[in-house]
């Protein structure tokens, strides 16, 4: 995406308005509009090198090294040969360049693929298949179903009635529901008549290319008339044509000028907190480097004044350099020598480690979901260690915690419950996969996927108990589900809410089959008999009514009203005679609710003919009334929905995904706070909260914030706080401001006594998120263990995440599956998409994706924790080894007149980071683990240090630096003292510079390797090989480089000839190496050992336990579903959106028969359930239009099927 910044920026003079004429290429070419070819690649063969280098040198580390290189060219300054800088820099640059090149080749490929797609273009009166890139502004093209829209088009005509076309705009705005576009009647009349279209010579005058997706302004002049054009007549590139056989369009904008391309700005680039810390540290290091160099320069100044001015006999100063100038040069010379404190290989190594750890996620079999054949996927390779620091998890509910599959689980009919499986003694049995299911073979129209375990209900149906029949009749009649029968007897239902689908499907299996409907009738098969009910009225559902009713006339002519709704609502409207039944049913409802089931109460009443006719007349009057129509209708509904007779209640299970309660429990043990942000209504959300262990009966209190005014909300929040922590101060405590942070001040965590939960609904949330109250809200919410926000819009989801991000110094993770979660996924530090449920929008914008919520615990507790551990170990060790390496030079400066003389051989300086110490530390950061995954699960507390940034912080960095300081002192002064006056065994002196260099560098290498050995807690064979191999490599390389042969080939490059042989053969050299090594690690071992004894960390304890146990711990006990008896009542079970009874009766959406499915795709459908829930985003039309009105006509199943199949083929709109 980022490439577009460049591309879009390169513009000629701004275009003010666009003029074009259909079918007139000559005319249109005169304006030099962009063709439809797109170019997202950055480089071509020739520009790659200069451009890529230019980009790379914009990175500060690379630029710094380039600067060093320049310094090294100046002979007065150059203290190191050029290759010490060039070799690492070249390596880093070429690795990055190789990566960029492969990326760009892929972009070229995808560009070519897109540009070479074929589309039918009307040229010279004939339709010709042309490549996309050859399409020009003013061309007329023909699109067919499921094709991508080639360019921004003016819709001319379509195969559908009223010149409608259906498009999916997922790639543009992330909404999965379909939208409708309609052509002008004037152009629509052209139809698909090629000759007419070829003769079409309309002229369009419209706005210049811009990035506003929701607006378009222009006019079409055609046949002497002028027509206004708006967004409703435009098809934008990036959309896909759906459910439309064909359409014709006039190209308005092509390629880079399309709104899609104009929109692709830079995507936000997420950085981890370790990244940010690292940047701060690198800055600190720069400062530190400057400090060291200044000290040394000052030292040089003093030396020059004192010793240096005297020591001129053998070392004359050229041109009589004065001390000040000399110290200035020394400063820069030391900048070169000490450059290793700013490690260029750091960034490359870090990327490499993250890449490796991302692969582990991709490879994890335990995060592979076999039912959907989806492995986990790390879509970003730069955020791994942040997975080990998550403090807040924001989860969507539907499709994430739940499967979004509703199953008819239990019911209560006329005071008797059905659905439980009882054994002979009347004890309730646990239902599992082996429980015998009810055989529905008596019913040829039954849905084979429906299962039910209680035989008593079938018996009751077969016995023709009238209440049972009435119960199911109600379920078949009172709904707004659409049926589709493609083949005789094969029904599929399309329901607005999965609950309704579940109920209708249940009725279908028990012999009351809803078969088809017309605007004024419902055809059902009741126990094998075909019956058609006249549908007289639908009293639709809305949020206030919380019920829906239908009034039907049976074939026998009986008038009945069937009503289903929230139990509280229904109970208010029952006939007095139902009192006893009400009590029994209430008991059942409580029982259902306690099991976390979603309940509905059902009631009916027979209507008096005269009364109804009167009512109908008044209803008609009211519905055309000019004023107060709603209120009048409402009153009429109230009137007829009274004195109902209770039939019973249904209980639907909103199936949780596998392992959700366990996962949530694990995560909360790991001190991760879970907030559920859902679009569902409060009761539903609360219910799920209980059933997935988020809320529990044991909690001290669950606060419900439901105020409608800001004052109410504020008061409720304060009350809650007062209750949790009596005397909670009005002002919140801030954490001390960070030195470099420009963000708002962070709010400190507050401890409370006991566990609390918070439930807040959409209205209140809107107030709570207001600038003046957001801190109040945040404080209260953060004191609670669990937070559930209901009725949240996608924007609010993002706001909540942003709020926590702003005021809490904590890492957030958002997990969701739908398009409505995209915003929060993008805002959170880490976005996780649940794949394979509701399209791919969430996944496409996520950083990690997998199929099941329960994999989250593995992602965090295992992969995240390890990644964080590894990264921190890596950074600590990396800084240690480089600092130690560099500080030795600092000490040496005091003995060489601050002349920027290096201690080591230049070859060693070049290879130290790249060859001698690279692999062992990489090995550690790829394989290390303190305890294995089973133990990680067993002890979720192991996760806590990550949240507190314990493993790597400024403090840890400072400790590293101190440690390095100690080590470098040892590494310089021990060899110094050991060889200063020493002689070799053959009497020759030992203290020459080259021998000293070899001695010190060998000591250094041994010391840092031993230190690595101490750090490493998981020695695989590979690690052993890397460590030993690297040491061996040092000796091999050293002896080779210092050999006679190489010297003879290139005398000037290998001045150290013979030094290795002559030095490393001396016993006292080895004694010195041994001494320094031991002296370096001795204090570390002592310190760590005492620390483990005196203040063991959780890691130490678990490691110790694991050691004791040796074998893996027993697998986690599988928690059985806790049955609760609770007085909570879940009166819900409607989708919260307004029903579409209007549509049903208007007949508008029955106009078109459903499209036959493309057979090639049929196998891949998610035909898991007969009903296909509409994408939930339908409820959240940002424009406020009732999107689903149109979307109703869409065959959702095939749409989603397409998506599962088509994802690979689809080109990302780069």
Partner 1 sequence: MVKEENESPNRPDNTAFTQQRLPAWQPMLSAGIVIPGFVLIGLAFIGIGVALLITSRNIQVLELDYTGTEQNSPCFQCSDPDKQNCVCTLQFSINRLFEGPVFFYYGLSNYFQNYRRYGVSRDDGQLYGDLSYFKEPYDQCEPYRYDRNKRPIVPCGSVVNSLFNDTFRLFQIVNGQQKEVPLDGKGIAWWTDYNIKFRNPTVTPLRNAFNGTVKPLFWPRPAYELDTSDPANNGFINQDFLVWMRRAALPDFRKLYRRITEGDYTNGLPAGNYSLEIAYNYPVLSFNGRKMVVFSNVSWMGGKNEFLGIAYLVIGTLCVVMSVVMLIVYAKFKFPEEE
| Contacts to partner 1 from residues 589-618, by CB under 8 A | none
Residue 436 or residue 488: which is nearer to partner 1 going by CB? 436
Separation CA 32–CA 618 (nearest Å): 64
Give dist(CA 364, CA 384) in Å, integer. 14
Q: Binding to partner 1 (CB under 8 A): which residues in 772-811?
A: none
Of 470 and 907, CB closest to partner 1? 907
| Residue 263-302 contact track with partner 1, rule CB under 8 A, x = bound | ----------------------------------------
Residue with tokens 């400072």: 958
Sign of the C-alpha dihedral, residues 39, 45, 47, 50? positive
Comparison of 79 and 837: residue with beta carbon closer to partner 1: 79
Nearer to partner 1, 80 or 713 (CB): 80
Q: Shortest approach of partner 1 to residue 256 CB, angstroms?
A: 36
Are the CB atoms for 576 and 646 separated by under 8 Å? no
Site for partner 1 in 369-388 (CB under 8 A): 370-371, 373-375
3-state SS of 1064-1093?
HCCHHHHHHHHHHHHHHHHHHHHHHHHHHH
Decide: helix, strand or coil at residue 503.
Answer: helix
Identified binder of partner 1 from the candidate list 262, 852, 1066, 1177, rule CB under 8 A: 1066
Number of neighbours of residue 1192 by Cβ within 10 angstroms = 22
**364 belongs to the binding site for partner 1 (CB under 8 A):** yes
**Active-site residue 712, yes or no?**
no
- Residue 998 CB partners (closer than 8 Å, separation 6+): 905, 1038, 1056, 1059, 1060, 1063, 1064
Which residues ranging from 838 to 877 are in contact with partner 1 (CB under 8 A)?
866
Site string for partner 1, 138-177 (x = CB under 8 A): ----------------------------------------
* Nearest approach, Cβ of residue 897 and partner 1 (Å): 5
Cα separations in angstroms, 897 against 237, 299, 301, 307, 978: 70, 8, 10, 8, 21
CA angle at 260 for the pair 256 and 265, rounded to the nearest 5°: 85
| Binding-site member from 8, 355, 1033, 1078 for partner 1 (CB under 8 A) | 1078
Number of C-beta neighbours around residue 1152 at 10 A = 12
Residues 886-905 that bind partner 1 (CB under 8 A): 895-897, 899-901
Instruction: Check binding of 986 to partner 1 (CB under 8 A).
Output: yes
Handedness of CA 568, 571, 572, 573 (dihedral sign): positive
With 0-12 CB in 10 A as exposed, 13-18 as middle and 19+ as buried, what is 521? middle
Among 32, 1088, 1119, 1121, binds partner 1 (CB under 8 A): 1088
Please, which residue, 1033 or 1046, has the CB nearer to partner 1? 1046
Least gap, CB of 934 to partner 1 (angstroms): 10
Strand duo 246-253 + 140-144: pairing: antiparallel
Candidate list 152, 396, 499, 930, residue with the active-site label: 396
> Based on CB atoms, which residue is closest to partner 1, 364 or 680?
364
Residue closer to partner 1 by CB (options 407, 1062) is 1062
Which pair of structure tokens corresponds to residue 30?
């005169």
User: Which one of 981, 1120, 1127, 1183 is in contact with partner 1 (CB under 8 A)?
Assistant: 981
Query: What does the block give as tokens for 477?
Result: 């009649």
User: Could you say whether residue 837 binds partner 1 (CB under 8 A)?
Assistant: no
Interaction mask 53-82, partner 1, x per CB under 8 A: ----------------------x---x---
Least distance CB 992 / partner 1 (angstroms): 4
Q: Which of 74, 90, 962, 980 binds partner 1 (CB under 8 A)?
A: 980
Residue 1207 binds partner 1, judged by CB under 8 A: no
Gap between the Cα atoms of 969 and 991, Å rounded: 18
Residue count, binding to partner 1 (CB under 8 A): 98
Distance spanning both ends of the chain, measured CA to CA: 5
Q: How many CB atoms lie within 10 A of CB 1150?
A: 16
CB-wise, 569 or 1025, nearer to partner 1? 1025
Shortest distance, CB of residue 371 to partner 1, whole angstroms? 8
Q: Pick between residue 611 and residue 894 the one whose CB is nearest to partner 1.
A: 894
* Token pair 């750090």: residue: 1015
Residue with the two structure tokens 């009647």 = 185
When the beta carbons of 355 and 1150 are compared against partner 1, the nearer one is 355
Contact pick of 682, 1072, 1135, 1177 for partner 1 (by CB under 8 A): 1072
Between the alpha carbon of residue 694 and those of residues 667, 699, 1016, 1128, the distances in Å are: 10, 10, 38, 15
CB 991 to partner 1: min, Å: 5
Q: How far is the CB of 1089 from partner 1 (least distance, A)?
A: 5
Shortest approach of partner 1 to residue 671 CB, angstroms?
A: 17
Residues 78-117 that bind partner 1 (CB under 8 A): 79
Q: Does 449 interact with partner 1 (rule: CB under 8 A)?
A: no
Q: Which of residues 630-689 bind partner 1 (CB under 8 A)?
A: none
Judged by beta carbon, residue 75 or residue 224, the one nearer partner 1 is: 75
Which positions from 1020 through 1049 interact with partner 1, judged by CB under 8 A?
A: 1020-1023, 1044, 1047-1048
Residues 6+ apart with CB under 8 A from 307: 897
Q: Using the 8-state DSSP alphabet, how is residue 600 labeled?
A: E
Question: Could you tell me the smallest distance in angstroms from the CB atom of residue 1093 to partner 1?
Answer: 5
Q: Which of 1062, 1130, 1135, 1145 binds partner 1 (CB under 8 A)?
A: 1062
Comparing C-alpha atoms, which of 678, 662, 679 is closest to residue 670? 662
The contact mask relative to partner 1 for 921-940 (x = CB under 8 A, - = no) is ------x-x--xx-------
189 vs 307 by CB, closer to partner 1: 307
Residue 791 and residue 767: Cα distance in Å, rounded? 13
Q: How many CB atoms are closer than 10 A to CB 128?
A: 12
In the block, tokens 């809305």 appear at: 542
Whole-number minimum distance, CB 326 to partner 1, in Å?
10
Report the C-alpha gap between 10 and 4 in whole angstroms. 10
For 1146, how many CA atoms within 13 A lie in the half-sphere containing its CB? 7
For the chain, what is the largest distance between any 2 Cα atoms, rounded to a whole number of angstroms?
Answer: 129
Other C-beta atoms closer than 10 Å to the C-beta of 237 total 25
Residue 1094 in contact with partner 1, rule: CB under 8 A: yes
CB 43 to partner 1: min, Å: 33
CA nearest to 540, candidates 623, 473, 610: 623
Query: Using CB under 8 A, which residues numbered 1153 to 1182 contact partner 1?
Result: none
Give the distance, in angstroms, between the CA of residue 209 and the centroid of all CA atoms in the same chain. 32
Among 451, 1068, 1126, 1181, binds partner 1 (CB under 8 A): 1068
673-677 and 390-395 beta bridge pairing: parallel
User: Closest CB to partner 1 among 497 and 1099?
Assistant: 1099
Please, which of residues 304-363 interact with partner 1 by CB under 8 A? 307, 310-316, 318, 333, 359-360, 362-363
CA distance 346 to 365: 31
By CB under 8 A, which span of 799-807, 871-879, 907-915, 1017-1025 interacts with partner 1? Answer: 1017-1025
Work out whether 1055 is an interface residue with partner 1 (CB under 8 A).
yes
Output the smallest distance, CB 89 to partner 1, in A: 23
Say if CB 278 and CB 50 are below 8 A apart: no
* DSSP of 1114-1134: PPPPPPPPPP-------B--S
Q: Which residues form the catalytic set?
A: 396
């Amino acid at each position: 995406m980022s490439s577009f910044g460049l591309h879009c920026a390169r513009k000629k003079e701004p275009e003010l308005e666009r003029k074009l004429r259909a079918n007139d290429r000559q005319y249109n070419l005169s304006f030099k509009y962009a063709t439809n070819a797109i170019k997202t690649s950055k480089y071509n063969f020739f520009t790659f090198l200069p451009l890529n280098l230019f980009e790379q040198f914009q990175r500060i580390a690379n630029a710094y090294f380039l600067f060093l290189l320049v310094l090294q060219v100046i002979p007065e300054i150059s203290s190191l040969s050029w290759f010490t800088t060039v070799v690492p820099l070249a390596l880093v640059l070429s690795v990055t360049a190789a990566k960029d090149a492969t990326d760009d080749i892929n972009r070229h490929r995808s560009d070519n693929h897109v540009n070479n797609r074929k589309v039918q273009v009307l040229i010279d009166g004939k339709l010709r298949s042309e490549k996309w890139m050859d399409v020009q502004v003013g061309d007329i093209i023909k699109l067919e179903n499921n094709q991508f829209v080639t360019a921004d088009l003016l819709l001319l005509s379509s195969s559908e009635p009223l010149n409608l076309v259906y498009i999916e705009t997922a790639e543009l705005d992330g909404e999965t529901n379909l939208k409708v576009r309609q052509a002008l009647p004037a152009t629509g009349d052209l139809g698909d008549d090629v000759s007419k279209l070829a003769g079409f010579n309309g002229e369009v005058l419209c706005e210049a290319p811009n990035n506003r997706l929701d607006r378009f302004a222009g006019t079409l002049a055609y046949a002497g008339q002028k027509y206004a054009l708006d967004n409703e007549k435009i098809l934008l590139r990036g959309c896909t044509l759906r459910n439309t056989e064909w359409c014709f369009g006039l190209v308005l904008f092509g390629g880079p000028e399309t709104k899609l391309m104009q929109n692709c700005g830079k995507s936000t680039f997420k950085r981890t907190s370790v990244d940010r810390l690292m940047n701060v540290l690198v800055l600190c290091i720069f400062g530190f480097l400057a400090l060291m160099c200044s000290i040394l320069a000052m030292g040089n100044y003093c030396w020059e004044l004192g010793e240096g001015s005297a020591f001129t006999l053998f070392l004359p100063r050229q041109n009589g350099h004065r001390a000040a100038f000399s110290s200035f040069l020394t400063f820069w010379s030391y900048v070169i020598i000490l450059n290793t404190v700013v490690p260029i290989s750091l960034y490359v190594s870090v990327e490499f480690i993250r890449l490796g750890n991302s692969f582990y996620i991709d490879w994890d079999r335990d995060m592979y979901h076999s039912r959907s054949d989806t492995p986990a996927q790390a879509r970003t390779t730069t955020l791994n260690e942040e997975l080990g620091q998550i403090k807040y998890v924001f989860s969507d509910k539907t499709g994430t915690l739940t499967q979004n599959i509703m199953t008819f689980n239990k019911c209560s009919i006329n005071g008797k419950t059905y659905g439980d499986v009882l054994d002979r003694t009347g004890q309730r049995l646990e239902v599992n996969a082996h429980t015998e299911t009810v055989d529905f073979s008596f019913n040829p129209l039954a849905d084979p996927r429906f299962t039910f375990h209680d035989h008593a209900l079938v018996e009751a149906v077969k016995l023709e108990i009238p209440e049972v029949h009435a119960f199911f009749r109600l379920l078949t009649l009172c709904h707004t589900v659409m049926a589709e029968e493609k083949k005789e007897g094969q029904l599929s239902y399309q329901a607005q809410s999965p609950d309704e689908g579940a109920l209708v499907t249940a009725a279908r299996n028990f012999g009351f089959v809803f078969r088809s409907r017309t605007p004024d009738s419902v055809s059902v098969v009741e126990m094998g008999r075909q019956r058609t009910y006249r549908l007289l009225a639908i009293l639709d559902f809305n949020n206030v009514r919380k019920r829906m009713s239908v009034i039907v006339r049976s074939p026998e002519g009986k008038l009945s009203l069937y009503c289903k709704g929230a139990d509280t609502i229904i109970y208010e409207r029952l006939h007095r005679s139902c009192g006893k039944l009400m009590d029994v049913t209430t008991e059942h409802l409580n029982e259902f609710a306690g099991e976390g089931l979603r309940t509905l109460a059902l009631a009916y009443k027979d209507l008096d003919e005269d009364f109804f006719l009167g009512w109908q007349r008044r209803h008609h009057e009211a519905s055309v009334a000019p004023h107060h129509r709603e209120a009048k209708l409402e009153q009429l509904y109230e009137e007829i929905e009274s004195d109902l007779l209770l039939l019973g209640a249904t209980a639907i299970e909103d199936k949780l995904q596998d392992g959700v309660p366990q996962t949530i429990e694990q995560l909360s043990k790991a001190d991760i706070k879970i907030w559920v942000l859902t679009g569902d209504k409060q009761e539903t959300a609360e219910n799920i909260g209980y059933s997935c262990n988020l809320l529990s009966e044991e909690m001290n209190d669950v606060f419900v914030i439901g105020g409608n005014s800001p004052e109410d909300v504020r008061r409720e929040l304060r009350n809650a706080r007062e209750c949790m922590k009596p005397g909670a101060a009005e002002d919140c405590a801030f954490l001390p401001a960070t030195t470099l942070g420009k963000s708002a001040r962070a709010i400190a965590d507050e401890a409370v006594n006991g566990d609390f939960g918070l439930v807040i609904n959409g209205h209140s949330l809107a107030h709570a998120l207001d600038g003046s109250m957001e801190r109040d809200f945040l404080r209260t919410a953060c004191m609670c263990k669990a937070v559930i926000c209901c009725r949240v819009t996608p924007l609010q989801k993002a706001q909540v995440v942003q709020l926590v991000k702003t005021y809490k110094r904590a890492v957030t993770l958002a997990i969701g599956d739908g398009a409505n979660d995209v915003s929060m996924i993008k805002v959170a530090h880490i976005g996780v998409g649940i794949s394979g449920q509701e399209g791919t929008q969430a996944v496409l914008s996520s950083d990690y994706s997998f199929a099941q919520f329960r994999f989250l615990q593995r992602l965090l507790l295992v992969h995240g924790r390890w990644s964080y551990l590894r990264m921190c170990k890596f950074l600590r060790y990396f800084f240690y080894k480089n600092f130690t390496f560099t500080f030795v030079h600092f000490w040496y400066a005091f003995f060489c007149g601050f002349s920027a003389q290096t201690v080591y051989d230049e070859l060693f300086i070049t290879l130290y980071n790249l060859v001698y110490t690279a692999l062992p530390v990489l090995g550690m950061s790829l394989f290390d683990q303190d305890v294995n995954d089973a133990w990680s699960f067993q002890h979720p507390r192991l996760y806590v240090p990550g949240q507190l940034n314990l493993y790597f912080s400024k403090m840890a960095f400072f400790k590293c630096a101190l440690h390095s300081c100690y080590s470098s002192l040892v590494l310089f002064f021990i060899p110094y003292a050991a060889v200063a006056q020493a002689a070799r065994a053959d009497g020759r002196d030992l203290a020459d510079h080259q021998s000293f260099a070899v001695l010190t560098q060998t000591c250094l290498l041994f010391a840092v390797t031993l230190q690595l050995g101490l750090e490493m807690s998981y020695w695989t064979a590979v690690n052993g090989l890397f460590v030993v191999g690297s040491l061996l490599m040092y000796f091999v390389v050293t002896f080779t480089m210092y050999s006679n042969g190489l010297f003879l080939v290139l005398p000037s490059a290998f001045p150290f000839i013979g030094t290795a042989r002559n030095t490393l053969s001396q016993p006292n050299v080895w004694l010195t190496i041994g001494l320094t090594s031991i002296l370096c690690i001795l204090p570390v071992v002592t310190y760590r050992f005492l620390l483990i004894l005196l203040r063991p960390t959780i890691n130490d304890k678990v490691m110790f336990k694991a050691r004791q146990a040796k074998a893996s711990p027993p697998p986690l006990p599988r928690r059985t579903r806790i049955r609760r008896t609770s007085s909570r009542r879940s009166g819900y079970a409607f989708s919260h959106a307004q029903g579409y009874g209007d549509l049903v009766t208007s007949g508008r959406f029955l106009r078109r028969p459903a499209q036959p499915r493309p057979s090639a795709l049929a196998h891949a459908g998610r035909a898991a359930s007969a009903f296909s829930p509409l994408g939930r985003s339908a409820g959240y039309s940002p424009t406020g239009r009732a999107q689903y009105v149109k979307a109703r006509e869409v065959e959702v199943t095939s749409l989603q099927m397409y998506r599962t199949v088509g994802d690979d083929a689809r080109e990302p709109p780069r």
